[in-house]
Structure 1
Amino acid sequence: MHILIFHNAVIPALEYGGTERVVWWLGKELTQMGHRVSFLVAKGSECPFAEVLFYNPELSLSLQIPDYIDVVHLSIPPPEDFPKPYVYTVHGNPRADEVLDQNAVFVSKNHAERHNSTAYVLNGIDFEDYPKPSFSHQRGHTHFLANASWRVKNVKGAIHIAKKANEKLAVMGGHRLNFKMGFRFTPDRHVRFYGMVGGRVKFDLLHRSKALLFPVLWHEPFGLAIVESLYMGCSILGTPYGSLPEIVTPEVGFLSISENELAEKLKNIAQFDPKICHEYARDTFTSRQMALGYLQYFEMVLSGKKINSVAPKALFDYPKFLPYEVN
């Protein structure tokens, strides 16, 4: 099977780039399974294991699909005149009034169910890109890993939780002074901001962290930061929204909408074993299981079938921010 993966961004991701890394890992795993892969991506991209084609945003996407391609993996909805069988992965939460394509696939069971669908593939990680963690060293802080300027990610809640538990917090994905949030300045000295980081800096911060603080205020579709943190031996403290109850088991974390309850659990974070967190992520969220999941949908559309019997659509109009108790 010759698979074209389209994503309008530069690959490989040099710093954070969640979706960029997911499509890279998917393409790499598919080639290792014997399939031929091409990427249609932004200029400046390169890849040692697959053909790279540069996307021209001034031309129709349909005109840029080579004839030799069997099936296309998309990260945006296809144009009406799309010439090849395709699968469209929905990465975010579409508007409540948006009717999605029938070949839409979601990134968690909860994500699919909220859009009247059963089609989903959990994101997987290529753990060859990560150092193997140690479980005997001292872990001296907690961490937040997300775009801190996005209010639904709730960096403010993470800061409060760490402060109540008298723990240090490393914020990856934001700065102490932030004008995007209507001038936010965080004076607390227990918090250190690292900006958008990746590679060795991020791995080192994760490796020395006790837990990911993830008190999101929306229905998180998947949460790649959760899996990365678990793999590096960090437990998860967050809110029970979206995919979190699906991903965070009682053995590796705790979920609550109460800031006080999360802070109390952080005070007793030693009850979670870093080795168990690592093994759970390693065994559950692999790039191979992701590739196998997509292959079943590629085969379905190649046979002329639609993935969803009806076009998916959000079942509810969710509030901008979900409930969160600042006690």
Structure 2
Amino acid sequence: MQTAFGLGVHAGTNLMRIGLIVGPWFTVPPEKYGGTERVVDALARALSDAGHDVLLATAADSTCPVPQVPGFGPASPEDLGQSFSELGHVIKAYTEMQDVDIIHDHTLAGPLYAHRPRGIPVVTTIHGPLSSSYAPLYRDMANDTAIIAISHDQISRTPDLKVSAVIHHGIDLSAVSVGRGAGGYVCFVGRMCPDKGLMEAVAIAREAGVPLRIAAKMHAPDEYGYFKDVVQPALASTEEFLGELSDPEKYELMGDAIALLNPIQWAEPFGLVMIEALATGTPVLATPMGAAPEIVRHGITGFVGSAQELAEYAALAPELSREACRRSVEESFSARRMAADHVQLYTKVIEQFRAKSLPDDGLLQENQSRTL
């Protein structure tokens, strides 16, 4: 963990000092499963590579190679969702980020914290669905916090919410090699739950007559229960359950696959697994739910359709260009592109914040006349 942080202003440049806050429950990057932490890791690295000073507030055992706020405890996944632990985490983070130009808070508690520093602009990213429970909270914070959505579909159900930008996720392509797709199987990567469409993936693979390899996160009791009661009894010899994989193992699985099956059953706001597969050159077969149509270019980097249609499209997947799949990520879903989009927004937010902080010309002239 690095703790030194350059506090000097980059005079005459567009470089800035950026504070990033993520919850206390998982490391950055995560050891295995963890979408938000994986995205923040890629963003922090890309911002740092671009020359910005980045200060990260995260669990102490995180390995992201940027300076980190000292004094936090190790990751505590057993406390996931506890608002008290998150609030204590963000209070300390804001206290230690008095010298940054902007704070990008990836928690929910932070932007709602009434005593955060008022001299520093704050932006936040909506990482989850805008449900009826969460939408009012984001409406409240939109008055003094710039809000980033991660897909157009995510905000389509809440058109009255003030969103400053839609910025798709990106990944570090230097860690992902293009595979040959020569494994003769399709794969499923995700969480062990009905919403991810695992049983639909099993049906698609069987209908297409292709073996299926399954990599799934299974930590929570409901995930174990779903596997034991629903998935495991249904698996045949043509389906192989691999458990949860590390990043290198995951990319190897994807790279050798004919296609990634992502028959998602809910409006997932993004779906990092799809761009990870595309980065390995592997096409994606997805249902038209959530952000999938924003990620998969039908007939070019995969296919979007019903489960029945995806079973038919599976035969066409090997004909798609693996180079085109990789190129789509390089052009639209790389960490470098993600960081550039964020810097553009940060700059705009800082300029607007400073403009609001300045007195109007009449008041300024009046104050000046009093001092003469």
Aligned to 1:82: 116
> Structure 1 residues 118 and 159, CA, compared in 2 at 3 Å: closer, same or farther?
farther
> Structure 1 residues 118 and 167, CA, compared in 2 at 3 Å: closer, same or farther?
farther
Q: Is the 8 A contact 1:142 1:211 kept in 2?
A: yes
Name the aligned partner's letter for residue 277 of structure 1: C
Report the more deviating stretch, 181-190 or 19-28. 181-190
TM-score normalised according to structure 2 size: 0.75
CA distance in 1, matches of 2:169, 2:287: 20
Identity %: 27
Q: Tell me, which stretches of 5 or more residues in structure 2 are unaligned? A: 1-15, 74-84, 355-372
Alignment of 1:1-327 (within 5 A): 1-8=16-23, 9-55=26-72, 57=85, 59=88, 61-65=90-94, 66=96, 67-77=98-108, 78=111, 79-83=113-117, 84-97=120-133, 98-99=135-136, 100=138, 101-102=141-142, 103-116=146-159, 117=163, 119-130=165-176, 132-135=177-180, 138-149=182-193, 151-174=194-217, 178-180=224-226, 183-184=229-230, 185=232, 186-250=234-298, 251-257=300-306, 259-305=307-353
Q: Which runs of 4+ in 1 moved over 4 A?
A: none
Name the aligned partner's letter for residue 235 of structure 2: P
The answer to which structure, 1 or 2, has the higher relative contact order (CA under 8 A, 6+ apart) is 1
**Secondary structure of 1:112's partner?**
helix
Report the more deviating stretch, 83-92 or 7-16. 7-16
**Secondary structure of 1:205's partner?**
helix
**Secondary structure of 2:166's partner?**
coil
Q: Is the 8 A contact 2:45 2:65 kept in 1?
A: no
Q: Tell me, which stretches of 5 or more residues in structure 1 are unaligned? A: 307-327
CA distance in 2, matches of 1:51, 1:174: 28
Radius of gyration: which is bigger? 2
> Structure 1 residues 188 and 182, CA, compared in 2 at 3 Å: closer, same or farther?
closer
Q: Is the 8 A contact 1:12 1:21 kept in 2?
A: yes
CA distance in 1, matches of 2:29, 2:328: 26
TM-score normalised according to structure 1 size: 0.85
Return the offset for 1:181: 5.8
Name the aligned partner's letter for residue 12 of structure 1: P
Q: Is the 8 A contact 2:260 2:285 kept in 1?
A: yes
